[in-house]
Structure 1
Amino acid sequence: MGKSVYEGRYTTENDQDIVIFIIGMRINKRRAIRKWVPVFLAMPGMIKELYQNQESLGFLSMESFFGLRTTAMISYWRSTDDLLAYSKGQKHLTAWKNFNKKIGNSNAVGIYHETYVVPKGSYESIYGNMPLYGLGKATKHIPVTAETISAKKRLEPAQTSITKPASR
């Protein structure tokens, strides 16, 4: 995948529901290499599987981050049904079983995940002189126009439904 920079300002259409799934690990005991390396090495195979089967799995895209002790992967999904179905798939179940077998209750390495279900119209984005990234890689990437020039305008439909009091 190329990293072509899109000059100027871009945003995304927010006309579809999206699921954002954040998963990662934290090395709690750096010297316990035998505990945390297998956890770290389980992820590349799953990432490869996701990209090879994007359409059928409902996986849209992902970004990865690596810190001194903590990793994070932000992934974008078509639906919670797709995400939950993947969690029951062979590659993920195998990794989960291996984690429980090798790590068990050891506090040498920690794992976490968070899931956010975001309704259409309830998110916005802006990218200036960037390659496709984040939601811009997961959804339709479009140039900024007069109608999408500000975050307020990009969120206007969602803000209208949230801020208007219910009629009596």
Structure 2
Amino acid sequence: MAESSGNCTAPELPRHLIHHILSFLSSRESTKASILSKAWFWAWQTRPELEFNSDICASKKLKQVGGIWAFSLSEIHKNEIYEELFEQIKKTLKPYSRQGICVDTVNLEIGEIVDSQWNPLVQKCAKGAVKNGVRNLHFSIPKCDLPEIVFRAKSLVDLSVSWANIPRL
């Protein structure tokens, strides 16, 4: 009879297959799946489609302050939302840069609570996406400037823009 060491390990799937599986799961489910193994965690951390949405940060802030409408947020709370989203973008793009992994799709949606002060965040997101070989870029950025770097992106296949100021080149 074969001896059992008590550890049952299955061979790891390739990262692209894990990405494919994770693409069928909700954010919550894919986060839970990331604890299966180191390979699943790294695949979850470097998923090919990235979503950044200021409305999600705003709704969290509204729950904290007991507000109902985004326009009722104070400038301090709007700045906190900006900082939180900025940090999320920086933290999310870091593993891609470090490991030289391409990003397939980046969606950046900024709600109506913003003004042109958000331009640095939009620039950071676009620069990080282009640096990591983004193929699909979707911006919904009212009152913000569309970064010029997206027009020089060699990897870009699809650019979708709504509610952005487009600079003259």
Higher relative contact order (CA 8 A, sep 6+): 1
Provide the TM-score with structure 2 as the length reference: 0.26
Provide the TM-score with structure 1 as the length reference: 0.26
* Structure having the larger proportion of residues in helix: 2
* Structure having the larger proportion of residues in strand: 1
